[in-house]
Structure 1
Amino acid sequence: MRNKQQQTTLTAWDLTQFKAFLREQERAEQTIEKYLHDLRALMVFLNGESLTKAALISWKENLQENYAAASVNAMLAAVNSYLSYSGRGELRVKPLRMQRDLFCRVEKELTRDEYVRLVQAAGQRGNERLALLLQTICATGIRVSELQFITLEAARSGRAEVNCKGKRRTVFLPEKLRRMLLRFAKGRGIGSGAVFCTRCGKPLDRSNIWRDMKALCESAGVQPGKVFPHNLRHLFARTYYAVEKDLSRLADLLGHTSISTTRIYTVESGGTHARQIERMGLLVT
């Protein structure tokens, strides 16, 4: 850590040291890269100028003009983390105040029918692996980064032991999904380890999964803005909550430490609310 008095600018050397620190803290690699990306953006903005509270507030204002509030707060979180690490906590900037959306935008909500069409489109393309992958995420609620834990052994036992972001949890595999995974693994000659992998046995890259999903949009008749792996996890959450109305248990299934996070996953477009109001029959004339 550099001496506070010497810390007047932000340099590539500082980022290298911060990266090493984050790895020592066992932060997820994706988080580390996100933090470094945001800090590089700040470096470009500073253009060699001193790292001061005034400069950071100016950067925050610049971000507000170009990014959504959630994105601004994510970038500020990265910088604030660095400031705490480097002993400059007094420079930390406050995140933007955000009111939680009661409803999500219709153009972002993936419906069950749309999900079914995506699976069918993958099958019609002869992409059995993609069709099964979509169903695995949607039927379990796992993150795309956790697919590596869907192993042949997990398919046999009905439970996948997920170790992600320093947290461990058990993901339950429905019986029908177990049979599908076992049949797929047998057909591909997979004798052990991850079911969703390359021919070399490495876990599938998330960017390739994203690209393959986007390629289904036109034939499935689904808007591209709705088609990405994490939206399948949201569909799982909404479907579970609609049946069970149990946020605490849903949080456990999703691997959330805070129910506040889980609430975000159960937000709908409001279509159900609108239909319920229509049925109330309170209009007289």
Structure 2
Amino acid sequence: MKYDLEHYGQYLAECEKSKNTIEKYLRDVRTFLIFSGERELSKEIILEYKKLLIEEYRTSSVNSMLIAVNGYLSWIGRDDLRVRVCRMQRLIFREEERELTREECQRLLMTANRENRGRLFCILQTIAGTGMRIGELKYLTAETLEERKIRIDFKGKVRIILIPRSLLIILKDYCRKHKIKEGSIFRSRNGR
């Protein structure tokens, strides 16, 4: 049986999957196909592959790989070979060891301030004050400061983050000092 990953990639693009998702799915399916080798695909092979993944990866990674393989199996008309993903219990709170303590956060802020790294200081204040992710900082613009809220539109989901007054004062001061009147607040040295 010939496995045509190029056409599967085209199918994923037609399903409006992002470029990164397509690359990941193709990588995961290619890894599975290498594992299965020349053997005829069967439920036993898929379960054997699932067991191997469980031994080597975290549950969330196993599930994302199985989702890619299941999608491929559906595409080739073999829904009968699909396997269940692993059950995961959602963590409502992060583990304490992964959280910064208030003291650690203050130390980071003081160090950035002491070393005259104003941009880093403001980024740390923004993340700590809003819960934003690093990749979402591009949505923080001079215009959003006027609205006092940030609208993050990512992967088809919209999130609104309100800017606390204390952070607003810090960010407006930063914009004034750096003559930022429009666009992203945190830019690289070359203006990106």
- Assess same fold via TM > 0.5: yes
Amino acid of the structure 1 residue aligned with 2:130: T
* SS of residue paired to 1:194: coil
Q: Which residue number corresponds to residue 128 of structure 1? A: 118
Q: Work out whether 1:17 is the aligned partner of 2:23.
A: no
Structure 1 residues 12, 91: closer, same or farther in 2, change over 3 A? same
* C-alpha separation in 2, matches of 1:104 and 1:114: 16
Aligned residue pairs total 192
Amino acid of the structure 2 residue aligned with 1:191: K
* C-alpha separation in 1, matches of 2:73 and 2:35: 16
* C-alpha separation in 1, matches of 2:93 and 2:160: 30
**2:143 alignment partner, one of 138, 153, 158:** 153
Structure 1 residues 63, 188: closer, same or farther in 2, change over 3 A? same
Amino acid of the structure 2 residue aligned with 1:197: R
The alignment's TM-score, normalised by the length of structure 1, stands at: 0.57
Structure 1 residues 197, 81: closer, same or farther in 2, change over 3 A? farther
How many angstroms does 1:63 deviate by?
0.8
Q: Percent same amino acid at aligned positions?
A: 38
Q: Is the 8 A contact 2:46 2:83 kept in 1?
A: yes
Structure 1 residues 169, 98: closer, same or farther in 2, change over 3 A? closer
* SS of residue paired to 1:191: coil
1:138-172 CA distances to partner (integer Å, 9 max, x unpaired)? Answer: 22222322211100100122112221111223221
Q: Answer 1 or 2: higher relative contact order, Cα 8 Å, separation at least 6.
A: 1
How many angstroms does 1:60 deviate by?
0.8
Unaligned ranges ≥5, structure 1:
1-7, 203-285
1:51-99 CA distances to partner (integer Å, 9 max, x unpaired)? Answer: 4433221211111111122321222122223333444322211112334
RMSD: 2.8
Unaligned ranges ≥5, structure 2:
none
The alignment's TM-score, normalised by the length of structure 2, stands at: 0.81
How many angstroms does 1:36 deviate by?
3.6
* C-alpha separation in 1, matches of 2:138 and 2:93: 32
Structure 1 residues 9, 142: closer, same or farther in 2, change over 3 A? farther
* C-alpha separation in 2, matches of 1:122 and 1:73: 39
How many angstroms does 1:126 deviate by?
3.0
* SS of residue paired to 1:171: strand
Which stretch of structure 1 is more off in the superposition, 98-107 or 8-17? 98-107
Q: Which residue number corresponds to residue 93 of structure 1? A: 83
Amino acid of the structure 2 residue aligned with 1:59: Y
**2:169 alignment partner, one of 179, 204, 211:** 179
